[in-house]
Amino acid sequence: MGPMHTPATLSILIPAYNEEGTIAQLLQKVVDARVDPTKIAKEIIVINDGSKDSTQKEVEQFIKTHAKAKITLINKPNGGKGSAIREGITRATGDIIIIQDADLEYDPEDYAGLVEPILRGLALVVYGSRYYLPGQRHEAWSMHTNKHGLKYLSFAVGGRLITWATNILYGTHLTDEPTCYKVFRADVLKNIPLQCTGFEFCPEVTAKVAKRGIRIVEMPIAFYPRTVAEGKKIKWSDGLEGIWTLLKYRF
């Protein structure tokens, strides 16, 4: 596992379902995200998972007005986040693949730090952790938890529970398993057969990476959580499905 040739192409997979309110702003952030052009070129792939709102139009309009950016829009029938990610993986041509949610919870400015261990040949898989380092990186989370009270606490506790289960079952040492920012050397991810259709992408890919003996490196990231009213789609039942997925692939 030596350093990668540079510039490497980073394929940014954005599964989107009914994200008309944030998708254009998110795409602008992705386009603007500062990466060293001698190290990284960006390939942006939006997988529109059968949105019933104007997500498709918003993306098409953005592509028209940003001709220099390499952006591909894939429209598919609704099948869930996992099915959208799997479609994106088959279409990605980059050396590194990152998953990017279509909302504004995660900050594309974190790309540079997340890809560095892979570029340097120190990791095959990197997860961006919302809990990895104390201090400034936690402020957004604690502020929103205070602002929105128990609802956020339930998301946080559910995420910690899945992380704990992962570490127990697979002998990993993760602090944030259900993080959106999962980064892979493309050849590694493309060789992992995935069956997920919904939110169980996270535990399935983590289980299969861990079972292959691949170490997951964590890097700190910023996080700005949104409420269910603002469009957050994950539910408690998805957390239970996550635990079941971890058990299923362990045994």
**Tens digit of each residue's pLDDT (9 = 90 or more) over 52-88:** 999 999 999 999 999 999 999 999 999 999 999 999 9
In a domain, 112, yes or no: yes
The answer to whether 240 touches 201, Cβ cutoff 8 Å, is no
Provide the pLDDT for residue 142: 42
In a domain, 13, yes or no: yes
Number of domains in the chain: 1
In a domain, 69, yes or no: yes
In a domain, 2, yes or no: no
In a domain, 1, yes or no: no
- CATH code, domain carrying 24: 3.90.550.10
| Residue 184 phi, psi dihedral angles, 5° rounding | -135, 145
Tell if the pTM clears 0.85, that is, is over it: yes
In a domain, 97, yes or no: yes
**Tens digit of each residue's pLDDT (9 = 90 or more) over 154-195:** 556 778 899 999 999 999 999 999 999 999 999 999 999 999
Q: How confident is the model at residue 139 (pLDDT cuts 50, 70, 90)?
A: very low
In a domain, 3, yes or no: no
Range of the domain at 139: 8-250
